[in-house]
Structures are given as structure tokens and as C-alpha cells.
Structure 1
Amino acid sequence: MLYADLSLAQKLERTEARGNAAFVETRARLLPESGACWREVAGAYAMFDGPDSPLTQTFGLGVFEEVTAGHLQELEAFFQERGAPVLHEVSPLAAPSLLPLLTARGYQPIEYTTLLFQSISAAEMAAVPEAAALRTRIAGPEEAELWARTAAAGWSTEGPDLAEFIFDFGQISARSALSFLAEHEGRPVATGALIMHDGVALLAGASTVPEARGQGAQAALLDARLRHAAARGCGIACMGALPGSQSQRNAEKQGFRVAYTRTKWQLMR
């Protein structure tokens, strides 16, 4: 039985941090002029992937070590020297002493993310039948642009600016995580990503092109990623979602449970 305690929080936070560190390292390797980099402070990973990137923040603050004012000063300098906002995404299982420190220094909460989890076992997973015309596979390194284009197409209904961002972001993601494709009659229609660290599998990158929604592509991708992770020794799967969203409901339908809801804090001074 898995419990939503500090031990689980440390596993989930470190897995996400390691996956994001791999993303930042890939960005730095492919685009050194971006200045992408990361640093560990008090057990938390501070990421810089550009001032506007959703990865430019800390992960795991207060979960591994008690945070001091000196630690926050060091983290603030890391972001401010790079012209980025100072953002910390904090688990409610972080040390209680962190919250008064954040409020005293002028931080305000701006966003929530719910983390969900479930136990996985290769021996216990029931087969999910795929539609005859649907198949899933891992995209090769040479298919990074194809994966990113498919992911961007899934967000095209939200506007061209977001689709362009997803395409750029996806090309890095496809080179830093295991990238899965779902194909319908040989045509890519959906994407998913998988990050594995220390027995934990993080699921991300879900996107389905509008005309292929409701045909089981994401269910097939979820099953493929869980099986892949379980076969490689992962015993926990996790994902993030907006609280109360359709993504959260879908995850709960698939057996995921809420671990906790994180709060993103931004320095306002």
C-alpha cells in the first residue's frame, strides 16, 4: 500500500526534477546560446530554461532539507541574474517553516497543480485492447520533429501561439524523455512522454489531434507507457493535472489517486 506521505513526495518531486533537469541539459546542448542551466540548493532543483518557460522554477523546495533565508537568497539570485521570475512550486508536505519564510520575503501563491499516483506491476496489469487501426510505439531520435508536430497539432485549437510554443518545447522534450506515438492507420494522431527515475514513472506530454479524439489513443498510450515502465522495474506511476480538470478526472478513472496539490509561489518584490 502506498501512502501520500513525505517519502512518496520525495520520490515524486525528485522524478519530476530529474526529468526537467534532463530537458534543460538537452536545451543547453542543442542551443547553448539559450543559457539553459540548473542548480541544486537545499535539495531542490532550480531550473532556468528561459524567462518564459514553464520549467523555469524550483522543484522539491522544503521536501528534502529545511530551507533557510540564505537558501532563498541564493535561489532568488539564480533567477534574477538571468532575468527570470522567481518561482517555487511547493508541496504541502514541505517543512512547515517554509511558508512563513516565503510570505515574509514577499511571495504570493499564483497557481495549483495536483499530483496523482498509483502502484504499477507488470504482473498485475490487465491488457487494454487497441482498436484494429490503432497502434502505439516509441518514436526514434530522428522523429523528434514528427513527435513535436503531432503534439503541437493537438493544441492547435487553443491558438497558433500556443501551438508554436508546444512545437518548440516538444522538439526538446522528444530528445530528453521517452516519446511515445499513437498512430491511426499509420498516421500519428497522439503523443505521450515517459520519464523514469529510481522506480518512479512520470507521465507527461499527452496530446491528441482534434479529429482523432475519443478513439482511445490516450488510453492506449497510457497503457503502453505503464507497461514499459513496469517492465523496467518501476513500481509507481505519477502525473500532474490542473485541480478538478478533465485530465484529473481521466487519471482517476484509470486508477490514479491524488497525492497532494502543490502551490506555485512567485516573488512579487
Structure 2
Amino acid sequence: MTTDVPITLAEQTEIAAYADFVTGAPAPVRDALGIASLRVGSALALAIREDPSRFFNRAGGFGAGEPVTVDAVTEVCDFFRAQGLSQGAFMIAPVLLPPDWATTVDKLHLGQGDRFAKLGCNVEAALSAVDGVATLRTGLRVGPVEPRQAEEWATVMMTTFGFTAPGMTDMAASCVGRPEWEQFAVWDGERIIAVGSIFVNGECADMFGGATLPEGRGRGAQSALLTARARAAQAAGCRWLVAETGAERPGDHNTSLHNMLRSGFEPLYERATWLWKD
């Protein structure tokens, strides 16, 4: 089944998930981390001043009913600068880039960073692929995360991705139980070894933050989490699922990418990251 997920909806859902994940944190956490956001037309820009990874300093959701203009991109660059950032990223689907994008890149001195594979599928396609996905190894179980498990869940996700600055785990833990989110984990006995979430944006759900500890890899955890999240998206009334992961370069093997392909996802496009640096 070929996915018909609208590209602008895929991009809007992704940035909405990041925005809620970051800005939904309690005020003391936002203040300590220097969290800020800005809406520019259909786009959202985010900043976390005290996170040295710079991963969450990003803008996305461009092109929904309006063209991507140099003025809008400039406004986001000014926001990044005003927040005291040294780097910020623009996430824009290739088909949404304007014909004069090269001029904007030159004017604002943007560079290219990592490339990401954007994937999507109909919920039904993901569920029909379940039988072909590896099952959990003996001794593991998958299920929803309860508020009392939020800190352990967040610790697994943030440390696996290397987001270890003070306050980052508190930020992540605060999204457990928040409206529009559902979090899942895989346990080995009483210990969480893998995590993943969905963020529901109307008819579209974003597969967010799938991560597995090194000792839990190769045991079917992420495939089980993909299945659990697809079922949760269906129960929430979603029509589509979207996700993103690092694009493969020649000689690379991205396990997350191949897990999603086996789970019914299809490549939508490959997206460059456009970097602003101060």
C-alpha cells in the first residue's frame, strides 16, 4: 500500500512533536535550560540555550499554505542569535524549497549538515506488516509507561542519544502522561532497556524518540515498540504514521531505518539539514 501522507502534514507533525516535547516542560526546567520558541507563519523555531548537543535548536513546519521566504528564514536566524545560540538548523522538505533557495542560502551563509530519511505509511499498512516483524526475545516485554516510570524511561532515551546536560532528562520525563503523547518501553525483568513514543497530531502520529540501550539491541525491542505504537496510533484515530532517521550513506547500515521499512514504512524523501552558525 503506497502512503498518501501529505508532505506538509508530515513536516508539521514532526516539528509539533519537538515543540511540545521541549516547551511543555515545567517552567523551572524551561528557565534552567534556556528554552524558547518562535512561530513564523506555519513554521516553528525552537532553542535550548544550555544544551551543548544543539540538536533541539531547529525550525520546521515550513511551506504549509505559504512559500518559504528569505524574510521568514531571516527571522528564524535572528531568533537563534537572540537566544545566544551558536548554531540552529532548518528542516525543510526538498519539494517545499523555493526556486530561489540557493540565493537565500548564500545571503544567510547557511551550510548543509546531516541528511535525514523521512518515512511514512498508512496505519493499516504498518499493522498489516506486523506478522513479518521479528518478535521480542524470551524474557522481554513491551508496554505503556506509567508516570512513576517516567524518570527511568527518560534516562534511557536521553542517555542513549547523548543528551546528558543537566535538566534534559527532567524535560523528557515531563512529557509522560501529557495530552497527545503515549510512551512505551521494553523491559528486561524490572529494567527498561528500550523506549519509544508517539505524538498525535490529528490524523497523523509521529514516531518519536526510539532508543535502545546497547545491551538490549538485536533482541527485537524496537520492532516491538514500532508495533505497539502503530496500534496506539490506530486507537487514537490516526490515519498516518511518520518518522525520521539518519539517511544511509554508501557503506552505512542504519538499523532503525531497516526496522521501519520492515514495519510497513515507506521512504517519502531525503532531507538535508540547513545550518545557520553565528
- Which TM-score applies when normalising by structure 1? 0.84
Which of these residues, 132, 137, 150, is aligned with residue 156 of structure 2? Answer: 150
- Partner of residue 203, structure 1: 207
Verify: 1:31 aligned to 2:32, yes or no.
no
What is the rounded CA distance, in whole Å, between the counterparts of 1:265 and 1:35 in structure 2?
23
* Cα 1:67–1:125 shift into 2, 3 Å: closer
What is the rounded CA distance, in whole Å, between the counterparts of 2:89 and 2:258 in structure 1?
27
* Cα 1:256–1:124 shift into 2, 3 Å: closer
What is the rounded CA distance, in whole Å, between the counterparts of 1:205 and 1:19 in structure 2?
10
Q: Which runs of 4+ in 1 moved over 6 A?
A: none
Q: CA deviation at 1:171?
A: 3.6
Aligned-residue Cα RMSD (Å) equals 2.6
Verify: 1:241 aligned to 2:218, yes or no.
no
Q: Retained in 2: the 8 A contact 1:153–1:163?
A: yes
* Structure 1 alignment gaps of length 5 or more: 156-161
- Partner of residue 58, structure 2: 57
Q: How does 1:85-96 map to 2 (within 5 A)?
A: 85-96=87-98
What is the rounded CA distance, in whole Å, between the counterparts of 2:65 and 2:141 in structure 1?
41
**252-261 or 210-219, larger mean C-alpha shift:** 210-219
Which of these residues, 128, 135, 139, is aligned with residue 133 of structure 1? Answer: 139
* Structure 2 alignment gaps of length 5 or more: 176-180, 249-253
Which of these residues, 92, 96, 99, is aligned with residue 97 of structure 1? Answer: 99
Amino acid aligned to 1:79: F
Amino acid aligned to 1:35: G
Q: Retained in 2: the 8 A contact 1:153–1:208?
A: no
Listed one character per residue, the Cα deviations across residues 21-52 of structure 1 (whole Å, up to 9, x for unaligned) are: 11222235241423312121131111112264
Q: CA deviation at 1:236?
A: 1.0
Q: Retained in 2: the 8 A contact 1:181–1:188?
A: yes
Q: CA deviation at 1:163?
A: 6.5
What is the rounded CA distance, in whole Å, between the counterparts of 1:204 and 1:250 in structure 2?
14
Listed one character per residue, the Cα deviations across residues 128-173 of structure 1 (whole Å, up to 9, x for unaligned) are: 7555532212212232211123335656xxxxxx3635x9534422
What is the rounded CA distance, in whole Å, between the counterparts of 2:26 and 2:99 in structure 1?
34
Amino acid aligned to 1:36: I
- Partner of residue 254, structure 1: 263
What is the rounded CA distance, in whole Å, between the counterparts of 1:95 and 1:153 in structure 2?
34
* Cα 1:180–1:174 shift into 2, 3 Å: farther
**24-33 or 258-267, larger mean C-alpha shift:** 24-33
- Partner of residue 164, structure 1: 164
Q: What secondary structure is seen at the aligned counterpart in 2 of 1:164? A: coil
- Partner of residue 111, structure 1: 114
Q: What secondary structure is seen at the aligned counterpart in 1 of 2:233? A: helix
What is the rounded CA distance, in whole Å, between the counterparts of 1:153 and 1:246 in structure 2?
19
Q: Retained in 1: the 8 A contact 2:89–2:276?
A: yes
Q: What secondary structure is seen at the aligned counterpart in 2 of 1:222? A: helix
* Cα 1:60–1:131 shift into 2, 3 Å: same
Verify: 1:217 aligned to 2:221, yes or no.
yes
- Partner of residue 267, structure 1: 276
- Which TM-score applies when normalising by structure 2? 0.82
Q: CA deviation at 1:204?
A: 2.2
* Cα 1:83–1:64 shift into 2, 3 Å: farther
* Cα 1:103–1:64 shift into 2, 3 Å: farther
Q: CA deviation at 1:115?
A: 0.7
* Cα 1:131–1:248 shift into 2, 3 Å: closer
Q: Retained in 1: the 8 A contact 2:116–2:245?
A: yes
- Partner of residue 178, structure 2: none
Aligned residues between the structures? 260
